[in-house]
Amino acid sequence: MGAIPSENGLGTLSVAYANLPSWSLVDKFIPMELVFNGYDDEKTLTIGASHGWIATLKEDGILRLVDDLNPVASGANPKRIPLPPLVTLPHCQTKIITNVSMSSSHPEDDEDCVVAVKFLGPQLSFCKPAGQSKPEWTNIKIENPCFFSSSRVMYSEKDNMFRILGSGGHLIGSWPHHLVESRPTGETFLVKQYKKTAKNEEGVDIMKTEFLMVFKLDDEGNAVYTQDMGDLAMFLSMSEPFCVPASFFPGSMYRNNVIIYDYDEMGIVDVSDIPFYLHSVSGPHSVPYQIPPQDIENCFACFLWRNPSLETIYF
């Protein structure tokens, strides 16, 4: 998914469907600020994505949910949902956000939809945008420091609850953990991703994946290392992780592949292949979000990158 610049700060939405050989232009315009951080004077930042919604944060400190980048959402009437002003707990911060997760894809009218925001540090905040006439944040201060840094919150449809994993690390490397739920199969995976500092082509320090391990969780929560995810391709980005059946995309996706896309790198890992090898391209990447398929029978591609010659970002 991407945008071809037009005028008045807008661009034409472009999408790549996994089952089609070429790019498709969608009859809708989107704000360029959603694909280029800092494009507008208000310095809009995209800080997360969930269920096809992009979370943005402006200088006014208001977190907003927008559906502009969802190709199946209305172009004539894009939805913009402002959330209440963020509340910072004592000895916490709300400027740096780790990720955003939602319990459903309808925050505008689902009264039970909960938005969860994990901040760098001990604060975790929840809000029901449609649950009451004047939504408010419920803020929690996590006491265990292993959840402070790169731990991400995710909603488990299987367990009907938000879950968060602890993580550990040191000065030059870290083990970010991802809890990934495969909705097509009902399985849950724990992914350990070891990252280490490296330099990109410009000599800038980035965090590069050195190793990745996949564990399958049983009903008791026991994690068993596996090199066989079955007919699944897994996607890890700064959005919610997800899986799709690889056989639905012959020639485009392959079983046991983990597709990584974040600010520092884009790459593919075949977990069945030993020794470990990551086909990767170093960042920085502007909008490292992968949106899960809205319609599995007519899925669109789950890669996101920039084509400098066209000034276009594709998804």
Q: Characterize the bridge pairing of strands 23-31 and 312-314.
A: unpaired
Give the Cα separation of 47 and 212 in Å (integer): 25
The model's confidence at residue 128, banded by pLDDT at 50, 70 and 90, is: very high
- pTM given for the model: 0.76
Q: Characterize the bridge pairing of strands 232-236 and 257-261.
A: parallel
The model's confidence at residue 305, banded by pLDDT at 50, 70 and 90, is: very low
**In the block, which residue shows the tokens 């066209």?**
310
The model's confidence at residue 55, banded by pLDDT at 50, 70 and 90, is: very high
For residues 43 and 153, the model is more confident at 153
For residues 308 and 278, the model is more confident at 278
Q: What is the pLDDT at residue 138?
A: 94
Number of domains forming the structure of the chain:
1
The model's confidence at residue 17, banded by pLDDT at 50, 70 and 90, is: low
Q: What is the pLDDT at residue 304?
A: 38
Least confident of 70-74, 81-85, 122-126: 70-74
Residue 202 has pLDDT above 80, yes or no: no
Residue 309 belongs to what domain range? 2-314
